[in-house]
Structure 1
């Protein structure tokens, strides 16, 4: 009986580890733990493809369900599909159709699955906690109304982060507030917000800065648990329990766009990158307790992430500088190689390989190595604009463009 129980717990843990429950995967770093992939000469076979709608929301996968968001007609929705078949399980309206003529229509944020709850944020600032199995609302919050915010120029884009009992988002705007020296004159700081994930009640708010389009991360450095928020004006480290500021590093872009997620590099470094700015920089967190500070290790323009986040693998950063795919030495910022052919694409890493989705829907596989770039396999996933990073879960790759979602079986993976 004891052995059977141990086996059951092991299989359950293995299944969970293969899910992709949030933005950038289980650890919010663009890395999958799956192995035994890409053994076939043509490693992909289409499992299903279904119509969706406008939007750039990422795809989360948990407990046999696929979650994303889209806009169609006059409305915006969160939707849940069966991961094996693509059959719709439920959908829930999250707001009106969001139209943006420059970047594109529809929601941007990626659902976050935590146990039996999925958290979704619409492009106009409506935040929902829904039952993952049924889509039944648990609570909802209007970030614009509650935090005197306004919809950012390209829509709310932050993907909610669960840290313990907290749900963390970038929530505050600058409606009616006067900006002085990259700080916003308002009574209460509301750029970063922590909510009780069970009830939606506000636990704390922090920062008087214009929010941007990035998503927060949580990590431990210098013996201290921290949150990193990448706003329009800075990268700032906060205490999870009350939002107090540990450290702040000013970082301003031409159009106030900080879209890529910060990349934590253990044990104590963090990388950020933006376009129309100083490129990218590596920072080191020093000190202990409440006496923390950051120092720049290096800065250059070799990696300018526009919206796709770089991924760290074996001490190297892989990502897009504009429309050029690059590999940098994470310790020094030295460029190891660069290649074209994917436009402003996105990528994740699994089983020692780059999984790259090009801007025009071309899917490529290459070994993740600083020695050079060689595409091992390719697949015409779409013939349209793709700005959404793929998700890998349980031997299947999930991708979308602005009209449909597709699931590919990865041949060679344990099914």
Structure 2
């Protein structure tokens, strides 16, 4: 996803339009604070800066949604549980996520960004869909459907092969298309019967996959930038309000864990543990059975990216320009890699058995040895990389702010394919069911589907 947009506010959405504010500077890196552009004010919610022209409406909306969500959750205990959690049935025409699906931000709970699908040697554009505010979130691909979150506040369910719209869900109830709707910057989590997705107003939406109708909502106190994760019959939600929430499948809260600043990442899962890193410069390992902290390790930098986990090792890029490998059980660095220019890494890593691959603000894709942290190869683009790359077979695909999509050979780091979209591509890549899908991060940006 376009995480720089989330944190640095390069684009500000006001009254349904996009205004280029050229913020790009963090006033206080230790807390991910923002320096407002001229004519804009910064409103704080629990120590979190958020740029809006109507903060009071946001607060009142959250309060109302808490009450509505409680009511919907009570109703959904019988309907949602009766349909999926207990009966485990799948509605006609809807497939449960399979091995070749891309059902969440990085496809799997360990967040390694590896697809088990196949993809053509030279993918060609099959269809495109424009959205007024563009796309910064990674889509989900399950069966014959794409679930695409847009900054305009719509979640689109589309036919994978044709791009035909099946249904559209809006983040607010008001049908007036001119009414501002909180956008979706987070990727959706898709299960057999449900879709879970957070919006930039801090609301988690639980949506029926068949009808596209709301089942319940849960309101946190600030923006949700990361994808929801599922552990057994529980949901994990990280928010800019500094909390990790554990919810039942009906939207009721089980426990929450508070950090010291906003959380940008999608929680990774390994065994019975989940992993958080954000603006308080700490890696936190949480026991999912108890909601208690297992490990708290200083990382010496705040993080925008989401971590990937392989066994006892965690990999992530930092804002201070390092890719780090951490033994999370011991709370120790295994290795630290710094690019020659030490520019921020805001993209989440793709992690294979041999390599850790991350794009940076130095306009370069870095591939390092997973065991040692030694550089294996680099690939230069013409602009910063915020796109989280995806691996399929022996190839990696990544977008850049230079408007290009690149296909790269994993072993050599050489270009094997390129598509010039002409607009920045900051959303993460999704590869599933034989298709690659990604959106353009610009006004009237297109969602692009290749096969």
Q: Which runs of 5+ in 2 are unaligned?
A: 1-93, 173-178
1:340 is matched with which residue?
380
Distance 1:378 1:172, change over 3 A: closer
Contact 2:240 2:263 in 1 (8 A): no
Q: 1:295 aligns to what?
A: 332
Matched-pair contact (CA < 8 Å) for 2:136–2:151: no
Distance 2:425 2:104 in 1: 19
Which deviates further from its counterpart, 400-409 or 337-346? Answer: 337-346
Determine the structure 2 residue equivalent to 1:211.
262
Partner of 1:246: 294
**After superposition, where does 1:113-152 map in structure 2 within 5 Å?**
113-144=190-221, 150-151=222-223
The residue number in structure 2 matching 1:285 is 328
For the 8 Å contact 1:17–1:26, the answer to whether it is kept is no
Aligned residue-pair number: 341
**Kept after mapping to 2: 8 A contact 1:273/1:304:** no
Q: Show the counterpart of 1:167.
A: 235
Q: Residues 396 and 408 of structure 1 are in contact (CA less than 8 Å); yes or no, is this contact kept in structure 2?
A: yes
Question: Deviations 1:190-223 (Å, cap 9, x if unpaired)?
Answer: 61110112x1000011133212311101003xxx
The structure with the largest helix share of the pair is: 2
Instruction: Tell me the distance in 1 between the aligned counterparts of 2:159 and 2:374.
Output: 43
Which of 140, 148, 158 is residue 60 of structure 1 equivalent to?
140
Q: Flag the structure with higher strand content.
A: 1
Mapped to 1, the partners of 2:392 and 2:344 lie a distance apart of 21
> What CA distance in whole angstroms lies between the structure 1 residues aligned with 2:97 and 2:186?
25
Aligned-CA RMSD value? 2.3
SS in structure 2 opposite 1:110? Answer: coil
1:273 aligns with 2:326: no
Question: Distance between the aligned counterparts of 2:216 and 2:149, measured in 1?
Answer: 18
Q: State how far apart, in whole Å, the 1-side matches of 2:402 and 2:116 are.
A: 27
The offset of 1:321, in angstroms, is: 2.9
Q: Which residue number in structure 2 is paired with residue 147 of structure 1?
A: none
Alignment match of 2:438 (pick from 396, 399, 409): 399
Spell out, residue by residue over 1:38-81, the C-alpha distance to the aligned partner (whole angstroms, 9 max, x if none): 44xxx122211122232411110113111122233xxx122211
Residue 316 (structure 1) aligns with: 355
* TM-aligned CA distance change 1:305 to 1:315, over 3 Å: farther
Deviations 1:264-317 (A, max 9, x none): 12x311122212x2623211134xxxxxx4222122423865321111113211
CA distance in structure 2 between the aligned counterparts of 1:13 and 1:126, rounded to whole angstroms: 26
2:96·2:142 contact (CA, 8 Å) conserved in 1? no
* Residue of structure 2 equivalent to 1:4: none
TM normalised by structure 1 equals 0.77
Aligned partners of 1:127 and 1:141 also within 8 Å: yes
SS in 1 for 2:309: strand
1:110 maps to what in 2?
187
Deviations 1:221-264 (A, max 9, x none): xxxx21101121211111112211111111343xx5x2211121
Contact 2:262 2:278 in 1 (8 A): yes
User: TM-score, normalized by length of structure 2?
Assistant: 0.71
